[in-house]
Structure 1
Amino acid sequence: MKVKNFLKTLALTLSVSLLAPFANMVSAQETNISAPEIIGEAAITMDINTGEVIYSKNADVVLSPASTTKLMTALLFAENKSKADMLTFTDTVLKVTETSLNNYKDIHAGDKISAEDTMKAVLIFSANDTAYLMAETVGGTVQNFVNMMNERAKELGLKDTHFVNPSGLEIDPLNPSSTEINQTTAYDLAKIGIAAFNNDWVKDIISPKNINTTIDLTGSPMTIESRNKILGQYGNIGGKTGTEELAGHCFVGFFEKDGRDLVTVVLKSDYGATGLNVFEDTEKIATYSYNAEKEIYKNAGDEVGSIDLTYKTFRFFGSEKQITAPIYVNENVEYYKNDFNDKNATISYNGEIKDAWKLSGNKEVTLTYSTPGYSQDVVGTIKVSTIDLIKANLPLYLLSLLIIIIILVLILFIVRLINIRKRKSRRRYY
């Protein structure tokens, strides 16, 4: 009976041991989510609150943003005007006819529109004439306003963004012979989007409450409908579309779900038969990003770089020298794995102490894991020991020791000579 029970237990143990790896494999397959394939040539998802890039596809490739440009235009307008301000159409503004209010209403120079309705026209209907109206009103001239746009891009730390007009049109109605177009990247546009979203006026205009709204133009109401086809769906609480020949179909979306705020950008998607491809791309990357989990970037104990430390040969005095020491991370560092983070992630030591003697003994230090727009502190070690420093200067230390010994021997010899002379002098005296 005991033998039979033993055999049963052994069989059960072997079964569990053999099946365990497969169970782990199934669990891993269930938790690992593959990044979605999308039509857009470039895209990004960023956590609005932390700045972390969760999804990326060619997020640093420079492309045309089309009318998503208007997020920057609206942001500057919101920062310089009040909702009740009245704006006046000019002959310059009325030269802009592509996707403009003046295609739907008989507008003349001198006609007025409120700043609130102008904001609606730009962000909901994407009216180009009112984008130029914003520019003239804030900048005095359109070119002055474009300069303001580029200055603001610099303030946001954007290196790959350059504006030539406030609308995103690729043929500028005020300068049709120009071949310059607005340029940005998915990453830069996400940063612009976050800045705009953090403005209460902009955030309110693009919200689901304005999926259908009216504006007052030349004394009569005009109904406008949001071009954001997923507004109020999948957690989407706002966005800005754009469509141009070089830009393709673009969309910047804002999402709020499970206590997290995300911004998505899709550039150069195909418009498609229904015009929904860019929104389907957006839904895919937003859903993926809400479910994505961080992976190991560096394991505890990994070498993550090196640093040049300075020190004085005799610790507190002597010639100043350098030693290169390896940097190790003492804890697992996790990140969202994507092409942008793989290209830009770094772990570095930015502490003030750079003296090798003070850091000797493999003392723990604070390292910084960072990607553009995000950083966190992690524990690490700069591996440099007293023995390393002694080895690096061993010939000098041996020479110094030899000199010290010679000096001591000379001192002893001199002392001995003095003592001998003293003894001889005493003998003569007696």
Structure 2
Amino acid sequence: MKKNKWKKILSLFLAFYISMSAFPVLVAGKGDEPENLYALSAALIDGESGRVLYEKNGEEKRPMASTTKIMTCILTLESGCLEEIAEASEKAARMPKVHLGASVGEKFYVKDLLYSLMLESHNDSAVILAEHVGGSVEGFAEKMNEKAREIGCEDTWFITPNGLDAKEEREGEEKVHETTAENLAQIMRYCVCLSPAREEFLKITQTPSYRFSDADGKREFSCQNHNAFLSMMEGAISGKTGFTAQAGYCYVGALQRDGKTLIVALLGCGWPNNKGYKWSDTRKLMEYGLNEYSLHSFDEIEFSKCPKEIPVKNAKNKELDKNSKISLVREKGEEKKILLKEGEEIEVSYHGKKKLTAPVKKGEKIGELRYKVDGEVWYTEDILTAEGKKKIDFPWCFEQVVKRYGNVEKN
């Protein structure tokens, strides 16, 4: 009888174990995140804040191929030389395919070469632009690296303006033309969201086709946009493909929908004959961002998170024994937003003075609100005095004594 009882208990235990194993979705973990990406390195970031929403080996350095050209394009646009004429050098004419086929000494308008650069990814056009804007390829690379540092992309190093695989010696150290998925996404964010030339960048990268001639009108050229992502997803606004033997297929693209700006960067996303891998990964990451994240404003946080007023010592008041306080206000700038996943919250804390000593000026900064997500500060807001307070001085003290003495005499 006991044996039968233990058999029943064991059977119930096994049934319970099997039933639990059949429902892995109930187990806490990262089941919602994109899986089985082809890319060796990938990143999805919030274009509004720059926050990384997803990464796979996102900080791993890899060659970036022709995605390099987004930096070449934005630097040329910001240089303001679109109506100038650039001449093809011998170095430019030697560039391998894919190329425009420019001859030594042939001249072009800079604005036309930008379409050649971004739509057809012509390597010789990149060199012509680099030499015109930077004086030389090396000089232009310095500008590229300077801009990368400015954007905060410390793990990026540019050697060429077109993304061809390259190495060089710098101060006894071998440097490789490379970036990370996270850095590449941040560079694209700069191009489409932050640069003063962002509108021109978007116009060029969204153009389906473009025709132009050399500056002398001797030859005509036709360019077709090879960024299939533009017609793949609603809201796609920009992108750049790339491929070299070392880099594999690479891609960086941007999408705007439902008030969200999402940017995807892929490095090492397959090798021939797997051109389609990058489109599969891009769609998967973009859909993840659209479905799992919602937009939140930092203005949603109540002002109660910091003091509305603080005490002021040695301040002039109507009465000698009255405690003085001063009101505070938030200095609001342009509204800032951030993408958050369900369950994520914005934490806000006040960092500043708890009391003041007169004199105090109106509009004086006495602290700041810090807004954090996952322990990282994404936004700060200055806290200012709403009014001023004068310091107690001898004339004021004398006046108060007279007032008090006068009241005593009357009594």
TM over 0.5: yes
Q: Which runs of 5+ in 2 are unaligned?
A: 1-23, 295-337, 356-367, 382-411
Name 1:225's counterpart in structure 2: 224
Q: Say which SS state the counterpart of residue 92 (structure 1) adopts.
A: helix
Q: How far has the Cα of 1:135 moved from its partner?
A: 0.8
Give the alignment of 1:27-426 within 5 angstroms.
33-102=32-101, 107-171=102-166, 180-198=175-193, 199-207=198-206, 210-217=207-214, 219-235=218-234, 236-273=236-273, 275-293=275-293, 335-336=340-341, 351-353=351-353, 368-370=371-373, 375-376=378-379
Large movers: runs of 4+ above 6 Å: 25-29, 345-350, 371-374
Q: 1-side partners of 2:377 and 2:201: how far apart?
A: 24
Name 1:309's counterpart in structure 2: none
Q: How far has the Cα of 1:134 moved from its partner?
A: 1.0
Structure with a larger share of its residues in helix: 1
Q: Say which SS state the counterpart of residue 269 (structure 1) adopts.
A: coil
Change (3 A) 1:87 1:191: same
Change (3 A) 1:168 1:179: farther
**Code of the aligned partner of 2:45:** M
- Length-normalised TM-score, structure 2: 0.62
**Code of the aligned partner of 1:80:** S
**Code of the aligned partner of 2:180:** T
Q: How far has the Cα of 1:183 moved from its partner?
A: 1.4
Q: Which runs of 5+ in 1 are unaligned?
A: 1-24, 295-332, 356-364, 379-430
Change (3 A) 1:280 1:197: same
**Code of the aligned partner of 1:212:** S
Change (3 A) 1:274 1:162: closer
Name 1:312's counterpart in structure 2: none
Q: How far has the Cα of 1:43 moved from its partner?
A: 1.0
* Post-superposition CA distance 1:166-193 (Å, at most 9, x none): 11101489xxxx9753111111111111
**Code of the aligned partner of 1:231:** L
Q: 1-side partners of 2:213 and 2:376: how far apart?
A: 40
* Post-superposition CA distance 1:368-410 (Å, at most 9, x none): 41579961579xxxxxxxxxxxxxxxxxxxxxxxxxxxxxxxx
Q: 2-side partners of 1:48 and 1:225: how far apart?
A: 27
Q: Say which SS state the counterpart of residue 230 (structure 2) adopts.
A: coil
Q: How far has the Cα of 1:70 moved from its partner?
A: 0.8
Aligned CA RMSD, in angstroms, stands at 3.5
Change (3 A) 1:60 1:201: same
Change (3 A) 1:187 1:283: same
Q: 1-side partners of 2:164 and 2:48: how far apart?
A: 31
Q: 2-side partners of 1:245 and 1:238: how far apart?
A: 24
Change (3 A) 1:371 1:196: farther
Q: 2-side partners of 1:119 and 1:221: how far apart?
A: 15
Q: 2-side partners of 1:258 and 1:27: how far apart?
A: 30
Q: 1-side partners of 2:380 and 2:130: how far apart?
A: 42
Q: Say which SS state the counterpart of residue 63 (structure 1) adopts.
A: coil
Structure (1 or 2) with the larger CA radius of gyration: 1
* Post-superposition CA distance 1:291-311 (Å, at most 9, x none): 0147xxxxxxxxxxxxxxxxx
Change (3 A) 1:113 1:252: same
Does the CA contact (< 8 Å) of 1:53 and 1:336 recur in 2?
no
Q: Say which SS state the counterpart of residue 351 (structure 1) adopts.
A: strand
Q: 2-side partners of 1:27 and 1:376: how far apart?
A: 35
Q: How far has the Cα of 1:348 moved from its partner?
A: 9.4
Q: 1-side partners of 2:75 and 2:376: how far apart?
A: 22
Q: 2-side partners of 1:97 and 1:293: how far apart?
A: 43
Does the CA contact (< 8 Å) of 1:253 and 1:263 recur in 2?
yes
Q: Say which SS state the counterpart of residue 222 (structure 1) adopts.
A: strand
